[in-house]
Amino acid sequence: MNKDLIVGDSVVFIDSLRVEHKALVTNVFGSGSTPTINVVFASGDDTKTDNYGRQLERQTSTCHVSVNSAKANCWRHTDES
């Protein structure tokens, strides 16, 4: 898959427990299908709320799932499985 990402694109962030979260790209380092990116997503913990609703979490310098042997703390395109 060869897609260039830009800030604001939707991706799936896979956390340390391998739970998937819908995320937005906030920065891109590199190009093609496997750049390193920063993302923001709504917390998976429904007790983490504030006046705006569910608190936001951020992950930085996140690599693509294809180059991450642990398959955690990484991202994938929304149309990848």
DSSP at 65: G
- Nearest of 27, 32, 31, 22 to residue 62 by alpha carbon: 27
The residue with tokens 């992950």 is: 59
Domain residue ranges in the chain: 10-77
Task: Count CB-CB contacts under 10 A for residue 76.
Answer: 19
- Banded model confidence at residue 72, pLDDT cuts 50, 70, 90: very high
pLDDT at 65 over 80: yes
Q: What is the pLDDT of residue 18?
A: 96
Q: What is the pLDDT of residue 27?
A: 98
Q: What is the pLDDT of residue 81?
A: 85
pLDDT at 61 over 60: yes
Q: What is the pLDDT of residue 31?
A: 79
Round to whole Å and give the CA distance between 49 and 68.
31
Q: Average pLDDT of 26-37?
A: 89
